[in-house]
C-alpha cells in the first residue's frame, strides 16, 4: 500500500516542479522599435559581444540578443541598424559593426542596462 502512495506522490511533485520551471522560463514577447530607419533609436550599449541594449522612443529600453557573437561590438564607438527594408527594428533585423553584419535573434523590452562599475573597466 505504501508503494502505491509514494509513486503518485512523487509523480505529482515532479509534475509540479516541471510546471514551475516552465512558468519561470516563459519567454518574453518579442518587441519592435518603430521607425528605427528614421532615427528613433536614441542610445545603445553593448552587453559583451552577444547582446546590446537599445533605447527607443519614450526612453524605453530593449535588449537585443544576437544569433552569434559579434566581434568588436564591446569596443565599437558606432554601429549601424539594418531593418531589412522595413521601418522597424525587430528580431529580423541586423546590426553592423565595423563592416560585419550581426543578425538579431531576439528583441525584448528591458530595463535600463546595468551601470558599469570601475571593476568592469579593468
Q: Is 57 helix (H, G, I), strand (E, B) or coil?
A: helix
Question: With 90 as the cut, is the pLDDT of residue 21 above it?
Answer: no
- 56: Cα separation from own chain's centroid: 14
Tens-place pLDDT, residues 47-66:
999 999 999 999 999 999 99
Contact predicate 50/103, CB 8 Å:
no
The Cα–Cα gap between 31 and 49 comes to 21
Flag whether the pTM goes above 0.75. no
Amino acid at each position: 500500500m505504501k508503494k502505491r502512495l509514494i509513486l503518485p506522490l512523487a509523480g505529482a511533485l515532479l509534475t509540479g516542479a516541471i510546471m514551475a520551471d516552465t512558468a519561470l522560463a516563459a519567454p518574453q514577447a518579442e518587441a519592435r522599435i518603430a521607425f528605427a530607419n528614421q532615427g528613433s533609436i536614441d542610445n545603445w550599449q553593448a552587453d559583451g559581444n552577444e547582446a546590446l541594449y537599445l533605447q527607443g522612443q519614450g526612453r524605453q529600453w530593449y535588449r537585443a540578443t544576437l544569433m552569434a557573437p559579434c566581434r568588436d561590438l564591446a569596443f565599437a564607438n558606432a554601429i549601424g541598424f539594418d531593418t531589412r527594408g522595413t521601418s522597424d527594428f525587430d528580431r529580423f533585423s541586423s546590426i553592423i559593426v565595423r563592416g560585419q553584419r550581426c543578425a538579431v535573434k531576439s528583441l525584448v523590452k528591458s530595463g535600463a542596462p546595468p551601470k558599469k562599475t570601475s571593476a568592469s573597466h579593468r
